[in-house]
Amino acid sequence: MSFELDGVGLCHPGGPAALHGITLAARQGEHVALIGPSGAGKTTLLNILGTALGASSGRVRVLGSPLGPAPGAPWPPPRALRARIGTVHQAPPLPPRQRVVTAVLAGRLGQWPAWKALASLLYPADLPGAHAALQRVQLQDKLFARCDQLSGGQLQRVGIARVLYQQPELLLADEPVSALDPTLALATVQLLVQDAAARGATLVASLHAVDLALACFARVVGLRAGRIVFDLPAGAVTPELLQALYAPPDGAAPAPAGAPPQPLPPDGYAACR
């Protein structure tokens, strides 16, 4: 198994519970989309899988390694495990003055010895590799640009290029195309799915674009209020399930007409399959 969560909960100190009794597992090489309204717990779930957060309760096993709060499980996780997990953030944590080439090569800092990581800050250790990763997201001309010279969508694609260069066994993506137009969003999600499939990697992506999730992923997990509402093949996710998943809480204003699911772009998302 790529990961296993059994009865996992997470409570933020002094705040409400973010996850309640999450039981979820994926085989190595599976592609899973997480959907649900804002605040459903999608990002928190990805942070637990990515070892950025420790669960408050339940059992967690990622890439064969048990994580806290299980007795005897290491926390923080060992560097070797974290190097096998790659995360695409909605807002990539890239220093403004950092060069794009340095940001991309940072994908393998966990795999390199310390001397190589430090040397790469002075002279990029793998210019051809960084260029090839950026070419896959159509940013090869930004190789030596500074991050503060890029748009939000370009920064998202730099973050994706970094994970592509890393080649992780478990690839996590948190709203990876939120700043991209529909056509570029489709191409980018296709790229993530194709890259994971070619390497036999597990891909878990949180997406607000419901149609994109249904078209590009074989398995879709719906979350609401920190709980799993359904875990189904994409073809089994009905409009009724989506309406219940995104229904406003009691007393709230109804959702705008037609949402969700979000409308398809003119060329459709069926090309993902």
Q: Can you spell out the DSSP letters for 216-228?
A: H-SEEEEEETTEE
Is residue 54's pLDDT more than 80?
yes
Give residue 265's pLDDT: 38
Give residue 113's pLDDT: 78
User: How many other CB atoms are found less than 10 A from the CB of residue 179?
Assistant: 17
Is residue 69's pLDDT more than 80?
no
Let me know: does 261 contact 214? Beta carbons within 8 Å: yes
3-state secondary structure of 54: coil
pTM of this structure:
0.88
Please state, for a pLDDT cut of 70, what percent of the chain lies above it: 89
Q: Where are the CATH 3.40.50.300 domain residues in the chain?
A: 3-84+169-272
Let me know: does 180 contact 153? Beta carbons within 8 Å: yes
For residue range 184-220, what is the model confidence (pLDDT) as tens digits? 999 999 999 999 999 999 999 999 999 999 999 999 9
Give residue 27's pLDDT: 98
Give residue 111's pLDDT: 82
Let me know: does 209 contact 262? Beta carbons within 8 Å: yes
Give residue 218's pLDDT: 96
Predicted confidence band of residue 266 (pLDDT cuts 50, 70, 90)? very low
Sign of CA dihedral 36, 38, 44, 46: positive
For residue range 124-165, what is the model confidence (pLDDT) as tens digits? 889 999 999 999 999 999 999 999 999 999 999 999 999 999
To the nearest whole number, what is the mean pLDDT of the chain?
A: 89
For residue range 219-233, what is the model confidence (pLDDT) as tens digits? 999 999 999 999 999
Residue 214 pairs with which residues in a beta bridge?
none
More reliable by pLDDT, 49 or 70: 49
Is residue 14's pLDDT more than 80?
no
Which CATH code is given to the segment(s) 3-84+169-272? 3.40.50.300
How do beta strands 202-206 and 170-174 pair? parallel
Residue type at 97?
R
d(CA 46, CA 171): 10
Give residue 114's pLDDT: 78
Among all chains, which residue has been given the structure tokens 């503060």?
A: 148
Question: What is the CA angle 200-204-207, rounded to 5?
Answer: 140
Please list the alpha-helical segments (H only) found in the chain.
Answer: 42-49, 79-82, 100-105, 114-122, 127-136, 152-166, 182-199, 210-216, 239-246
Is residue 264's pLDDT more than 50?
no
d(CA 17, CA 225): 9
Question: What tokens appear for 147 in the block?
Answer: 């991050």
Let me know: does 64 contact 73? Beta carbons within 8 Å: no
Residue type at 96?
P
Give residue 222's pLDDT: 98
